[in-house]
């Protein structure tokens, strides 16, 4: 057992002070648009690692480099990095126009009264297929604004439906960076985590859909949205989704998606052969910062662990949270607190992973349950914080179409994240008891 040393947690405090402090200053004091995302998160982590290297004089700098290398060289970290890059290449190949095709297709065959419900369902499907909530919001928010202007639904209601559905896929998708981070951090197959998560997410999604329909029937309608669509482009996403659910190796699934996507894009004339490799490179490049953050966090956490920081944190958790259920709640609140501080659910999961790993052994929490808790609670908080990328992107996309909305106008319509929290708590405290009885 390592000795408890609360001072070893100082690097995390330094990172949060730099990232959160500068983010709040940029966003709310200097009024810089997307202020949080103008902070170089890699530099903030480098500063935190420097602080960690200055601690514990019993170890030489070379020994600390060896500790960091052992953390970065972990099999789960390497697997995570490779999946990040291949998933990025997949998105780069298939493009994102298919998401709009799905939306316009469903809006064309379903009555206007159900348009907001359609937006929610489409956002669920697209985000699960694409593996990105921000990408889904970027694509579907303009459609949501069009639906609002044409049909009579409020803009915040339509945006709230899009954001809620986007967080559904962010939580469940096999190629979502949050899923990749949670599963590889806890050493659990994605299909196992999916099954654990799906039982929690589906009830929340169904209740959300019912509430949206109830609200929709109180609105006076003006018309419907009609646009062109091309359903052939969704085939690669469907293949990836089905392959992941069946349980095929994630690399095989992604490679199948890349090959089928490349063939479709070339045969339909959506892109030239010369552009295909460039698009793959651009998609992979989009994952570079996420990959670098995973490397730096692994290095920093290796130092914190050997300095006794994790043991100090675990001692605090032991005092506050008792038993298996308390451990599950503590794990969820841990990743939630990190998400509130970083405004990035992937970073929050990567930071919480090593602590959660030790908590799962301490409290008897299965690896797939731990991965599910980390992903679910991070998505709950990320889906509602007013300064998260999801909210800021949605507001910006609406503003570009001449619709000015604030985060606080949208937040009452973020039904899915709120219900996902309720469902998560029910599965921690209520469902296990009923199963035992």
306 and 58 Cβ atoms separated by less than 8 Å: no
| Residue 157 resides in a domain | yes
Question: Which residues fall within 8 angstroms of residue 95, CB to CB, at 6 or more apart?
Answer: 233, 265, 270, 271, 279
pLDDT tens for each residue of 253-262: 778 888 888 8
Question: Which residues fall within 8 angstroms of residue 341, CB to CB, at 6 or more apart?
Answer: 16, 19, 20, 348
pLDDT tens for each residue of 233-252: 778 877 776 776 676 776 78
9 and 312 Cβ atoms separated by less than 8 Å: yes
Q: How remote is the C-alpha of 279 from its chain's centroid?
A: 23
pTM of the full structure: 0.72
Cα 252–Cα 257–Cα 263 angle in degrees, nearest 5: 130
| Residue 323 resides in a domain | no
pLDDT at 210: 96
| Residue 357 resides in a domain | no
pLDDT at 224: 64
How many domains would you assign to the chain? Answer: 1
pLDDT at 92: 81
| Residue 363 resides in a domain | no
CA terminus-to-terminus distance, the chain: 38
415/81 Cα distance (integer angstroms):
33
Torsions phi, psi for 335 (to 5 deg): -70, -30
| Residue 341 resides in a domain | no
Q: How many CA atoms lie within 13 A of 319 on its CB side?
A: 5
| Residue 373 resides in a domain | no
| Residue 389 resides in a domain | no
Task: Work out whether the CA dihedral 60, 66, 71, 72 comes out positive or negative.
Answer: positive
pLDDT at 245: 64
| Residue 382 resides in a domain | no
What domain range is 278 assigned to?
78-285
Cα 38–Cα 42–Cα 43 angle in degrees, nearest 5: 80
Residues of the chain with pLDDT under 70: 1-2, 34-37, 76, 80, 95-102, 222-226, 241, 244-245, 247, 250, 341-343, 387, 432-437
């Amino acid at each position: 057992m390592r000795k408890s040393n609360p001072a070893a947690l100082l690097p995390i405090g330094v990172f949060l002070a730099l990232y959160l402090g500068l983010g709040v200053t940029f966003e709310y004091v200097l009024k810089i648009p997307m202020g949080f995302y103008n902070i170089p998160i890699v530099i903030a982590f480098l500063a935190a690692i420097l602080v960690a290297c200055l601690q514990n004089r019993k170890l030489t700098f070379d020994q600390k480099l060896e500790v960091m290398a052992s953390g970065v060289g972990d099999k789960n970290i390497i697997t995570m990095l490779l999946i990040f890059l291949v998933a990025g290449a997949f998105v780069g190949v298939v493009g994102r126009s298919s998401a709009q095709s799905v939306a316009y297709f469903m809006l064309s065959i379903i009555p206007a009264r159900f348009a907001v419900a359609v937006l929610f369902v489409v956002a669920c499907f697209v985000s699960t297929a694409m593996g990105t909530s921000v990408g889904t919001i970027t694509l579907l928010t303009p459609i949501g604004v069009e639906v609002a202007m044409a049909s009579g639904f409020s803009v915040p209601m339509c945006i709230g439906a899009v954001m809620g559905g986007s967080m559904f896929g962010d939580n469940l998708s096999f190629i979502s960076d949050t899923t990749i981070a949670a599963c590889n951090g806890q050493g659990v197959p994605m299909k196992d985590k999916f099954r654990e998560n799906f039982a929690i997410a589906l009830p929340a999604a169904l209740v959300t859909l019912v509430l949206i329909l109830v609200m929709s029937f109180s609105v006076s309608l003006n018309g419907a949205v009609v646009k062109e669509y091309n359903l052939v482009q969704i085939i690669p996403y469907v293949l990836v989704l089905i392959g992941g659910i069946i349980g095929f190796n994630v690399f095989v699934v992604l490679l199948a998606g890349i090959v089928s996507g490349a063939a479709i894009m070339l045969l339909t004339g959506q892109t030239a052969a010369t552009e295909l490799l460039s698009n793959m490179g651009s998609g992979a490049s989009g994952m570079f910062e996420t990959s670098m953050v995973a490397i730096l966090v692994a290095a920093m956490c290796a130092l914190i662990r050997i300095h006794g920081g994790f043991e100090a944190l675990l001692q605090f958790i032991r005092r506050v949270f008792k038993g298996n259920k308390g451990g599950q709640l503590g794990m969820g609140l841990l990743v939630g607190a990190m998400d509130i501080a970083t405004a990035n659910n992937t970073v929050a999961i990567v930071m919480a992973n090593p602590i959660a790993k030790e908590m799962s052994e301490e409290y008897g929490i299965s690896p797939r349950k731990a991965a599910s808790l980390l992903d679910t609670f991070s998505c709950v908080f990320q889906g509602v914080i007013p300064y998260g990328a999801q909210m800021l992107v949605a507001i910006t996309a609406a503003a570009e179409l001449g619709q000015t909305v604030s985060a606080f106008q949208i937040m009452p319509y973020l039904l899915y994240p709120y219900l996902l929290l309720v469902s998560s708590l029910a599965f921690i405290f209520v469902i296990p008891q009923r199963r035992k009885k």
